[in-house]
Amino acid sequence: MTGFTDILYEASGGVARITINRPDKYNAFRGQTCEELITAFNRAGWDKSVGVIVLTGAGDKAFCTGGDQSAHDGGYDGRGLVGLPVEDLQTVIRDMPKPVIARVNGYAIGGGNVLVTCCDLAIASETAQFGQVGPRVGSVDPGFGTALLARTVGEKKAREIWYLCRRYKAQEALEMGLVNRVVPAAELDAEVARWCDEILALSPTAIAIAKRSFNADSESIRGISALGMQTLALFYETAESKEGVNAFMEKRKPRFRDTGE
Ligand SMILES: CC(C)(COP(=O)(O)OP(=O)(O)OC[C@H]1O[C@@H](n2cnc3c(N)ncnc32)[C@H](O)[C@@H]1OP(=O)(O)O)[C@@H](O)C(=O)NCCC(=O)NCCSC(=O)c1cc(O)c2ccccc2c1O
């Protein structure tokens, strides 16, 4: 498919591969990136020749590091409750009636970790690292990023991830249930291909029903997300939130408690 600037799209042999192609930004997403991802997921999701979708990042440094902080100057450049249609992107991944596999080739940080959480399955390279950074940069993903993460890794672990903003190695992500499999970097593509082949050999309708059934049980999180994003829009206007972004861009520690919020 042509016309994309921020992503790559290819579909063959029953597999659609969607690649965030911003390696110089560690595959962080801006509004344009989200719009293109949504278009690509809709294309792959309703293409009957596609049975499984693989989401990944270009290069070997990052899967995705969340919102592009260099485009975050008080308001993102796209639509959406917070000027960035992240809620649409997360739900389109869930709404696809076929499995979405996160091929995690490096950092899955912030909104990138939330994408891993929203994908049906995740296969990681040994070099991958995971984590949430919102409270360090004046942000939070108040929906699937918190509530679905808690269902995935358990309440205590999810709270640790958000309250301490630590980074977790691939093996730790496997142990907490955030990813399904960890392999050496050189074996990542072969492993992903094996999982795709196994899925493609099974009944697509049975899998679609299974996916919708899993989703139905956690669908209330969509409402939590909408409410949370509305709140986040107000938070982004505060000096406390802006201090987080400024500190990241200026490569210094944030001084949240000096902002008087
Ligand atoms: C990813 C890192 C852990 C890597 O650390 P490392 O020390 O290895 O490398 P550097 O820190 O020097 O980074 C290398 C290089 O990449 C640039 N970069 C990295 N991440 C981003 C980014 N997200 N945006 C822009 N640029 C990025 C970095 O500036 C360096 O560039 P140089 O030119 O200086 O070489 C580490 O980089 C890291 O922790 N990054 C922070 C990631 C971050 O803050 N992400 C955003 C969090 S908020 C978010 O994701 C988010 C989620 C949502 O769901 C939203 C919903 C709605 C609205 C907004 C949302 C949102 O913002």
Domain coordinates of the chain in residue numbers? Answer: 1-186+204-261
Of the chain, the percentage scoring pLDDT greater than 90 comes to: 90
Q: What is the pLDDT of residue 79?
A: 67
Q: Is the CB of 132 under 6 A from ligand 1?
A: no
Is CATH 3.90.226.10 the classification given to domain 1-186+204-261? yes
Percent of the residues in the chain that have a pLDDT greater than 70, as a whole number: 95
14 known ligand binder: no
Distance 245 CA to ligand 1 centre (A): 10
pLDDT computed for residue 75 by the predictor? 45
Per-residue pLDDT tens over the stretch 112-160: 999 999 999 999 999 999 999 999 999 999 999 999 999 999 999 999 9
Residue 77 has a pLDDT of: 55
Q: So what's the pLDDT on residue 259?
A: 81
Q: Which atom of ligand 1 is nearest to the CA of 24?
A: 16
Ligand 1 contacts CB of residue 27 (under 6 A): no
CA angle centred on 110, ends 73 and 227, rounded to 5°: 75
Query: What's the confidence (pLDDT) of residue 74?
Result: 44
For ligand 1, is residue 28 a contact (CB within 6 Å)?
yes
Q: Is 34 in the pocket of ligand 1 (CB under 6 A)?
A: no
Q: 100 C-alpha vs ligand 1 centroid, how far in Å?
A: 24
pLDDT of 194 above 90: yes
Mean pLDDT of 170-194: 98
Which residue of 65, 86, 130, 248 sits with most ligand 1 atoms within 8 Å of its CB, as the best mutation to test the pocket?
A: 65
pLDDT in tens, 199-257: 999 999 999 999 999 999 999 999 999 999 999 999 999 999 999 999 999 999 999 99
CA 28 – ligand 1 centroid, Å: 7
Would the annotation count 163 as a binding residue? no
ipTM of the shown complex:
0.96
Strand order in the sheet with 62-64: 62-64, 107-109, 129-131, 168-169
pLDDT category at 73 given cuts 50, 70, 90 is: very low
- pLDDT value for 227: 94
Q: Is the pLDDT of residue 197 over 70?
A: yes
Ligand 1 and 230: CB distance under 6 A: no
Distance in Å, CA 58 to ligand 1 centroid = 15
Query: Mean pLDDT across the chain, nearest whole number?
Result: 94
Pick from 83-87, 180-184, 204-208: least confident? 83-87
Q: What is the pLDDT of residue 1?
A: 52
Least confident range from 65-79, 104-118, 156-170, 202-216: namely 65-79
pLDDT score, position 84: 86
Q: Which atom of ligand 1 is nearest to the CA of 112?
A: 50
Answer yes or no: is pLDDT of 5 > 90: yes
Asked whether 115 lines ligand 1 (CB < 6 A), one says: no
- The answer to whether residue 72 scores a pLDDT higher than 90 is no
CB of 86 closer than 6 angstroms to any ligand 1 atom: yes
Bridge partners for 19 per DSSP:
8, 56
Query: How far is the C-alpha of 212 from the C-alpha of 78, rounded, in Å?
Result: 29
Strand ranges for the chain from DSSP E: 7-12, 15-20, 52-57, 62-64, 100-104, 107-109, 121-125, 129-131, 168-169, 181-183
- Where are any strands of DSSP class E within 86-229? 100-104, 107-109, 121-125, 129-131, 168-169, 181-183
